[in-house]
Amino acid sequence: MSRTFSDLVAEVHAAHSASIFRFLDRLSGDPDLAADLAQEAFVRLYRRGTLPEKPDRWLVTVALNLFRNERSKERRQRGLRAAFPDDLTPGAGPSPSDRAESRSRRAEVRSALDRLSPRDRELLLLRAEGYSYRDLADMLTINEASVGTLLARAKRSFETAYEEARRAS
Amino acid sequence: MHLDTETLERLLHDELDPRRQTESRRHLDACPDCRERLADAGRREARIFGLFEELDHEPTAARLALPDSCPEPARKEPAWYRIAASIALVIAAAGLLYALPGSPLREWISRPGADGRGTGDVGAGRSEEVAGALSGLTVRSDGPYEIVFLARQSSGRIRVELTPSRDIQVRVAGEPVGLESGPDRLVVSNAGSRASYEIRLPADGPPIEILLNGRMVFRKQGDRVETASDLDPSGVYLIDLSSELR
Ligand SMILES: [Zn+2]
């Protein structure tokens, strides 16, 4: 039974859309933007007409470029203020409910991630999705031989930034 | 000389070529300091990746929708199921696995190993014979292996235990679930199910990963385990299948 290209795209979507959305959601802090970027990447895959060798890597690279463009456009529009979803604004003060506690931890993690360099942030979030060193090197145009060292450094930077964010809140 | 950072990270992520892997393992065997550094790196990474989950928003159907220019395929089976079904060397058949209504998970957990083990031939036709007992299948793999749960569940959990056996055993309790095994992968079609699972993995041997809804939730390589899930006092890892749906 022959499968159409739409079937193939649908299979790629079923296998990878959750991971791609999660990555973009964590990266941007904005689930609606993440959904839009992921869908735009799939539209481009559909237009491409053939499957790339590693469709998930291709889709993430496309979405990542769209995200970077989006962010530099935002920065131009609003000066250099970082985008920060309203419900994540730190310093809202402690609240007795668990929900507020979890929201404040979310704000701390968000704040720590936002303090990293874009490369460290992307590297950590992509590794959390299980991408291999070869994939990471290709997607972020870094030297494959030093991916482990860069990862270790990025994790240390995150830990430092997270402790700072906790002290600040 | 101690292992450098690059090598430690590569050990952690199974990214060393075989020769350097052997050399590094030899050093680890002789060096408690580097063993501790490796264990520490694994613990810290698990904590960081666990913290990232704080950021996640619900992956609703609307957020994961295929865009308009990608028409839905005519067939309705989940795409992963079809991929799994097309694996040329299917070494064990899929089956719907039933436990008796009301067959309590608690009873199962209290009697691990009391039932006969499935050997991959548990089809719908046999489901009545195994009803009330645990059902599942057993595979053996000489290479890296993945156990893929296609969906999160509203309840249920996975117990993972490392055993001296060379077999990978997956057993299901509670509700019907489709199991499809290939040469390097077992796919659990568990969307909408509330079943629980017991997975026994060889303590030695090639790397094995458990994926839940596209995300790695458990990985073992040799005797090293990477997971953010709880380890209970009897040495069993408990993975909550509903952790993102709370
Ligand atoms: Zn050493």
Question: How do residues B164-196 score in pLDDT, each as one tens digit?
Answer: 888 888 888 877 787 877 778 888 888 788 888
Q: What is the ipTM of this complex?
A: 0.87
pLDDT tens digit sequence for B73-91: 444 444 554 455 444 333 3
Check residue B82 and give its pLDDT: 47
**Pairing, β B157-163 against β B196-202:** parallel
Check residue B72 and give its pLDDT: 44
Higher pLDDT, B179 or B30: B30
Q: Is residue B119 part of a domain?
A: no
Calculate mean pLDDT across residues B102-110.
37
Say yes or no for a CB contact (<8 Å) between B67 and A39.
Answer: yes
Q: Shortest CB distance from B64 goes to which of A4, A17, A151?
A: A17
Residue B69 confidence class, pLDDT cut points 50, 70, 90: low
Q: Shortest CB distance from B6 goes to which of A18, A125, A149?
A: A149
Q: Does A132 touch chain B (CB under 8 A)?
A: yes
* Shared-domain flag, residues B158 and B190: yes
Say yes or no for a CB contact (<8 Å) between A35 and B49.
Answer: no
Show residues of chain B in contact with A6, CB under 8 Å: 70-73
Measuring CA to CA, how many Å separate A52 from each of A68, B41, B140?
22, 34, 32
pLDDT of B101 strictly over 50: no
Check residue B226 and give its pLDDT: 85
Check residue B24 and give its pLDDT: 96
The residue among B75, B84, B5 whose CA lies nearest residue B37 is B5
How far off is chain B from A145, nearest CA to CA, in Å? 8
* Shared-domain flag, residues B82 and B168: no
Q: Shortest CB distance from B9 goes to which of A31, A46, A152?
A: A152
Calculate mean pLDDT across residues A109-130.
97
Q: Which of A68-72, A75-79, B21-25 has the lowest mean pLDDT?
A: A75-79
How far off is chain B from A75, nearest CA to CA, in Å? 22
What is the C-alpha separation between A67 and A21, in angstroms, rounded?
A: 12
* Shared-domain flag, residues B133 and B97: no
* Shared-domain flag, residues B145 and B209: yes
* Shared-domain flag, residues B27 and B82: yes
Show residues of chain A in contact with B6, CB under 8 Å: 145-146, 148-149, 152
* Shared-domain flag, residues B133 and B208: yes
Q: Shortest CB distance from A10 goes to which of B44, B57, B73?
A: B73
pLDDT of B214 strictly over 70: yes
Q: Does A152 touch chain B (CB under 8 A)?
A: yes
* Shared-domain flag, residues B12 and B83: yes
Higher pLDDT, A104 or B114: A104
How far off is chain B from A47, nearest CA to CA, in Å? 9
Show residues of chain B in contact with A38, CB under 8 Å: 63-64
Domain membership of residue B227 as a residue range: 129-240
* pTM for this prediction: 0.56
Which one of A117-121, B58-62, B101-105, B239-243 scores highest in mean pLDDT? A117-121
The two structure tokens encoding residue B43:
């613990």
Higher pLDDT, A146 or A76: A146
Say yes or no for a CB contact (<8 Å) between B62 and A35.
Answer: yes
Count of beta carbons in the 10 Å neighbourhood of residue A142: 16
Calculate mean pLDDT across residues B211-219.
84
Residue A98 confidence class, pLDDT cut points 50, 70, 90: low
pLDDT of A71 strictly over 60: yes
pLDDT of A95 strictly over 50: no
Q: For the CA atoms of B32, B36, B42, B44, what is the dihedral angle to 10 degrees? A: -170
Mean pLDDT of chain A: 87
Cβ contacts of B90 within 8 Å, gap of 6 or more: B180, B181, B182
* Shared-domain flag, residues B135 and B92: no
Give me the residue spans of the domains in chain A: 1-92, 99-169
Ligand 1 centroid, distance to B42 Cα (angstroms): 16
Say yes or no for a CB contact (<8 Å) between B64 and A46.
Answer: no
* Residue length of chain B: 246
Say yes or no for a CB contact (<8 Å) between B48 and A124.
Answer: yes
Ligand 1 centroid, distance to B51 Cα (angstroms): 29
What is the C-alpha separation between B161 and B202, in angstroms, rounded?
A: 9
Q: Is residue B201 part of a domain?
A: yes
Residue in chain B lying closest to A132 (CA): B15
pLDDT of B92 strictly over 60: no
* Shared-domain flag, residues B136 and B224: yes
* Shared-domain flag, residues B103 and B162: no
Q: Shortest CB distance from B5 goes to which of A14, A15, A148?
A: A148
Residue B128 confidence class, pLDDT cut points 50, 70, 90: very low
Residue B134 confidence class, pLDDT cut points 50, 70, 90: low
Check residue B244 and give its pLDDT: 52
What is the C-alpha separation between A46 and A40, in angstroms, rounded?
A: 10
pLDDT of A114 strictly over 70: yes
Which one of A76-80, B31-35, B145-149, B161-165 scores highest in mean pLDDT? B31-35
Say yes or no for a CB contact (<8 Å) between A133 and B56.
Answer: no
* Counted domains in chain B: 2
Show residues of chain A in contact with B83, CB under 8 Å: 11, 15
pLDDT of B23 strictly over 60: yes
The residue among B232, B236, B156, B140 whose CA lies nearest residue B188 is B156
Q: Does A74 touch chain B (CB under 8 A)?
A: no
Check residue A36 and give its pLDDT: 95
Residue B119 confidence class, pLDDT cut points 50, 70, 90: very low
Q: Which of A32-46, A70-84, B65-79 has the lowest mean pLDDT?
A: B65-79
> May I ask the CATH class of domain A99-169?
mainly alpha
Say yes or no for a CB contact (<8 Å) between B5 and A152.
Answer: yes
Say yes or no for a CB contact (<8 Å) between A17 and B52.
Answer: no
